[in-house]
Structure 1
Amino acid sequence: MANSVPVHLTYGPALPVPETPYRQYVYAYPHQKAYRLLENGPLLSDVWTSERLDALSLYVHIPFCEMRCGFCNLFTRTGAPEDVTGAFLDALERQAQATRGALEAAGRPVRFVLSAFGGGTPTYLTAAELTRLCDICEDVTGADLAAVPWSVETSPATATADRLAVLAERGATRLSIGVQSFIDAEARAAVRPQKRAEVEAALSRLREAGFPVLNIDLIYGIDGQTEQSFRISLDAALAWRPEEIYLYPLYVRPLTGLSARHDKDGRLWDDQRLRLYRYGRDHLLANGYEQTSMRVFRRTGTPAAERAEDTSIGEYNQQAGMVGLGVGARSFTTDLHYTTDYAVAVPEVRRIIDGYLATPAEEFARAQWAFRMDDGERRRMFVLQTLLESGGLPVDGYRQRFGTPPLDDFAAEFATLGERQWLDADGGGVLRLTPEGMAWSDAIGPLFFSPRVHEAMAGYQDR
């Protein structure tokens, strides 16, 4: 960074050392469990009136899947019939129109620079429904989806030729497919009943469709998984030369399919996951990939890999302002993060989706479930969005934005990282995680949560 100064690492008292490397995946701060229902929530036209509107991102949440994996705690339901998906698109259109009206009320040009369809599985929708979904999104953005980087999540069973043809025609630039394991027995152990032949056929269709960026998701920590079996999946993924590979540690959360039958010793499981993470990381680095976060590896030397930095952030683009559409989607403004109700248990998810389908247009004009941000929470969000990435936390950038050095604002947190040798500083004034610090990202992230967020999350009733 230009005009930056070296960082001198001096620490005060540290926080307690995390007991496990796998506490919580931090992809947006604060977690949705910290949101609460607002009484007579503010009008979206008031929420967005003072926001920057020329660099927005759009995230659309499709809460449907053909199956629910044993580890999944996402907001999704399985087996939605056509009348439900059709009613969902009707509600989404009402929400999109209300949102577009709120943005236009500011009286300034509205421009979107990123789009992402997530879920759930967006390609659970039929080709005709995907076409309608694209039309709705182009109405709210005021431009062709093809005009901006655009990411879509898919699955082996739903990556059919007709669906992919729609996405290719409309200009999708990145397709992310959840494979998890190329070994049938491991897929079954994760309660993901799929065959490798089905996975390979889907990958062939994705490559034939010509999307600039292909991402393959893999999971480590499955019962019985070893370095040798993990390499089989890694090499199978590498054979497709994807522009990205994401490596996810297996989590078992309450109310998920694996939660009732997962009795592994926590320390042994942590050891297994750390071993597999290090093995997978080193294998991908040795095969021409660079690591940009604990989970993300990008193939070097291709223009598509460089563009992937823009196309893959999707829901995580909090700083520039994100507009969320669909039940379970979050929207981020400077002072307010808002969404719909959230749950994991199947009956509760269906209840919330049914409520969304019945929501009249006028109710979409107000924020519902929300978390009010303040200066302290914005500082924490900035730290989490930069420190957990390979680019690191720019000290001067933080000071220019907030007026104080991050080492002063979070002395105890950085003391913990320093004592464990998880933190490094270069001469350019950037705080970066060491390789071992990156391995512990899911423990480091929660260290920076505020007491307010910890309390709100602790008070959330799992359902």
Structure 2
Amino acid sequence: MAISAYFHIPFCAHICHYCDFNKVFAAGQPIDDYLRAMDKEMAWTAAEFGRRLQTLFIGGGTPTVLEPAQLGRLFESIHRHFQFDRSTAEFTVEANPDGLTSEKLAILRAAGVNRLSIGVQTFDPELLCAIGRTHRREDVVRAVEMAREAGFVNISVDLMYGLPGQTLALFLADLEAALSLEVAHLSVYSLMVEPKTMFYNEWRKGRLRLPGEEAEAEMYEAAMDRLPAGGYRQYEISNYALPGRESRHNLTYWNNEEYYGIGAGAHSYIDGVRRENIGPVRHYIAAIERGEWPHRAVRRLTVREQMEEELFLGLRKTEGVSKARFRQKFGCEMDDVFGAAIRRELACGRLEETNGHLRLTKRGRLLGNEVFAAFLGEM
């Protein structure tokens, strides 16, 4: 039985130039029909797989684009179909700095939400304009202040680096601005130019001026140095937290544990089976209304594939992958399965073994995707 659930709200007031998540403009969308469809999927999921949860995460899109009454209906559905202890569960909602209001924050708090993830990306006004964001630095400060006034203590802020026109100096200024907020958690991601985004179209036309791999690596190293100096522990390739404020929900993914995915385009992993929901909102609703599970793809992983995922997901964590946990989970030694790849990566200094864990070195974190690929198809 999964102990975590992700709920996808695919609606946005605007579309950022880099975003490849499953999302649509909220205007003109059948949002109420969508929430009714989600309610049915929640009911089926809880009845089939279990109701008890320890972490919940509402992402998007922009969940807080919903009107207050719609937010209320979403939370009513969650509470009706799932059970969680408000005193111990982690309940996260994503939000944009310019989409939070005191009324919506009060609704979140009343529903048991105890963690906010605020999409900032950068504090620089020119960069914000370049990536299609509509908020400004003062909106971020105001959003954090409002959240604290509403009773939120566990607040996370997202930053990006490798943005068009971004320099190391600009990124260092973003780090300092983020540190000044004194939030509990910081996520720091590199820009990925993905298909079906405005940036991808600009890149294909040769119009997207990116910093380059060397400059991007310098920005990543700057984050790895500056944020720990500010009291934040890097517990995953892109994530930093004050002690005890690591994202328990995201650790579910990196620990290769099970989770439910509710909503259009959501993914789930239950009993060794990965499921991907239909992405287009109206097609998702239509499937639910026909009384069908809204799955676009269903695939049972082989034991071998589960082992590979245990490695390349777990290696994202700073502590790495526990050899004892691998043995307990799969009934064999990690070295018996991946010995050749492990020896190669240890020899070239991208992996190290410490305290019974296999983990990335600092150099390995810079080349993480290459290390992960070393374990795919290894015999």
Which runs of no fewer than 5 residues in structure 2 stay unpaired? Answer: none
Check if 1:310 corresponds to 2:248.
Answer: yes
The answer to whether the 8 Å contact 1:173/1:311 transfers is: no
Check if 1:424 corresponds to 2:352.
Answer: yes
Match of 1:236 among 174, 177, 181: 177
* Cα distance in structure 2, aligned partners of 1:267 and 1:411: 38
User: Aligned AA for 2:299?
Assistant: F
Indicate how the Cα distance of structure 1 residues 152 and 366 shifts in structure 2: closer, same or farther if over 3 A, else same.
closer
Which residue number in structure 2 is paired with residue 97 of structure 1? 43
Indicate how the Cα distance of structure 1 residues 211 and 447 shifts in structure 2: closer, same or farther if over 3 A, else same.
farther
Which residue number in structure 1 is paired with residue 146 of structure 2? 205
| Percent identity of paired positions between Structure 1 and Structure 2 | 28
Indicate how the Cα distance of structure 1 residues 366 and 236 shifts in structure 2: closer, same or farther if over 3 A, else same.
closer
* Cα distance in structure 2, aligned partners of 1:188 and 1:253: 19
The answer to whether the 8 Å contact 2:164/2:208 transfers is: no
Residue 362 of structure 1 and its aligned partner are, at CA, apart by 5.6
Q: Deviations over 1:272-318 (max 9, x none)?
A: 11011111221111111110111001124xxxxx143425546x277
Q: Residue 287 of structure 2 aligns to a residue in which SS?
A: coil
* Cα distance in structure 2, aligned partners of 1:209 and 1:129: 20
Check if 1:333 corresponds to 2:270.
Answer: yes
Residue 250 of structure 1 and its aligned partner are, at CA, apart by 0.8
Which residue number in structure 1 is paired with residue 335 of structure 2? 407
* Cα distance in structure 2, aligned partners of 1:139 and 1:317: 28
How do residues 229-268 of structure 1 correspond to structure 2 at under 5 angstroms?
229-262=170-203, 263=206
User: Aligned AA for 2:42?
Assistant: A
- Could you say what the CA RMSD is over the residues aligned between the two structures, in angstroms? 2.4
Residue 385 of structure 1 and its aligned partner are, at CA, apart by 2.9
Q: Which has the higher contact order (CA 8 A, sep 6+)?
A: 1
* Cα distance in structure 2, aligned partners of 1:398 and 1:290: 25
Residue 397 of structure 1 and its aligned partner are, at CA, apart by 2.0
User: Aligned AA for 1:357?
Assistant: I
Which residue number in structure 1 is paired with residue 158 of structure 2? 217
* Cα distance in structure 2, aligned partners of 1:308 and 1:276: 22
Check if 1:372 corresponds to 2:309.
Answer: no
User: Aligned AA for 1:217?
Assistant: D
Q: Residue 238 of structure 1 aligns to a residue in which SS?
A: helix
Check if 1:168 corresponds to 2:109.
Answer: yes
Residue 336 of structure 1 and its aligned partner are, at CA, apart by 1.1
Residue 75 of structure 1 and its aligned partner are, at CA, apart by 0.7
Check if 1:69 corresponds to 2:16.
Answer: yes
TM (norm. structure 1) is 0.75
Match of 1:296 among 239, 260, 277: 239
* Cα distance in structure 2, aligned partners of 1:366 and 1:75: 15
Which residue number in structure 2 is paired with residue 184 of structure 1? 125
Check if 1:276 corresponds to 2:219.
Answer: yes
The answer to whether the 8 Å contact 1:227/1:276 transfers is: yes
Check if 1:59 corresponds to 2:59.
Answer: no
Residue 147 of structure 1 and its aligned partner are, at CA, apart by 5.7
User: Aligned AA for 2:53?
Assistant: F
User: Aligned AA for 1:84?
Assistant: P
* Cα distance in structure 2, aligned partners of 1:114 and 1:289: 22
The answer to whether the 8 Å contact 1:99/1:364 transfers is: no
User: Aligned AA for 1:433?
Assistant: L
Which runs of no fewer than 5 residues in structure 1 stay unpaired? Answer: 1-52, 105-109, 301-305, 343-351, 452-463
Which residue number in structure 2 is paired with residue 357 of structure 1? 285
Residue 230 of structure 1 and its aligned partner are, at CA, apart by 1.1
How do residues 443-454 of structure 1 correspond to structure 2 at under 5 angstroms?
443-450=370-377
